[in-house]
């Protein structure tokens, strides 16, 4: 069953010992289906991807994906302990990036929380360490 929820999404990025953090509070849709939590929301100018819809799909702790469709298109595949090569669309063109996942902690069903930690590289050169911390409230 699809539910309307409010999410608070904190995105933390480390690059060359510099930390940047953004926070987004927005309405979203939440579906629990076949052991997967699926959260989708419309991006705004605050995310830099206005006109796109982002969907985060996560199982009980081993796999996740972050898909963006619209003005920018990308799919990041996350699997603990494994590197995936993914297409990442930007307003300036597409990039192929490597995604190595360190942690996926999905407790949305229990306490409305999701934590993702991963490293990105571009052409096998380190790009950034990233964390996503999300809370989901009905």
Residue 41 tokens read as: 């929301």
CATH number, position 12: 2.40.128.20
Number of domains the chain is built from? 1
Strands of 1-138, DSSP E = 3-15, 18-33, 36-42, 52-58, 63-70, 74-79, 83-90, 93-107, 113-122, 125-137
Q: What is the pTM of this model?
A: 0.90
Per the structure, the complete domain to which residue 129 belongs is given by 3-137
Ramachandran region of residue 92, left (φ > 0), alpha (ψ -120 to 50) or beta?
A: alpha
Q: Is the dihedral of CA 67, 72, 73, 79 positive or negative?
A: negative
**Which band of pLDDT confidence, cut at 50, 70 and 90, is reported for residue 137?**
very high
The mean pLDDT value of the chain amounts to: 92
């Amino acid at each position: 069953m699809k539910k309307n929820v409010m999410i608070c999404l904190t995105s933390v990025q480390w690059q060359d010992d510099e930390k940047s953090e953004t926070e987004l509070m927005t309405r979203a849709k939440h579906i629990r289906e076949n052991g997967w939590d699926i959260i989708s929301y419309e991006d705004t100018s605050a995310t830099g991807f206005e006109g796109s819809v982002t969907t985060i799909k996560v199982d009980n702790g081993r796999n996740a994906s972050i898909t963006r469709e619209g003005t920018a298109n990308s799919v990041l595949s996350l699997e603990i302990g494994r590197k995936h090569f993914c297409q990442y669309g930007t307003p300036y063109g597409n990039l192929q990036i490597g995604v190595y996942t360190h942690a996926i902690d999905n407790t949305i069903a229990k306490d409305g929380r999701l934590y993702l930690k991963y490293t990105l590289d571009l052409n096998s050169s380190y790009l950034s360490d990233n964390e996503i911390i999300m809370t989901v409230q009905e």
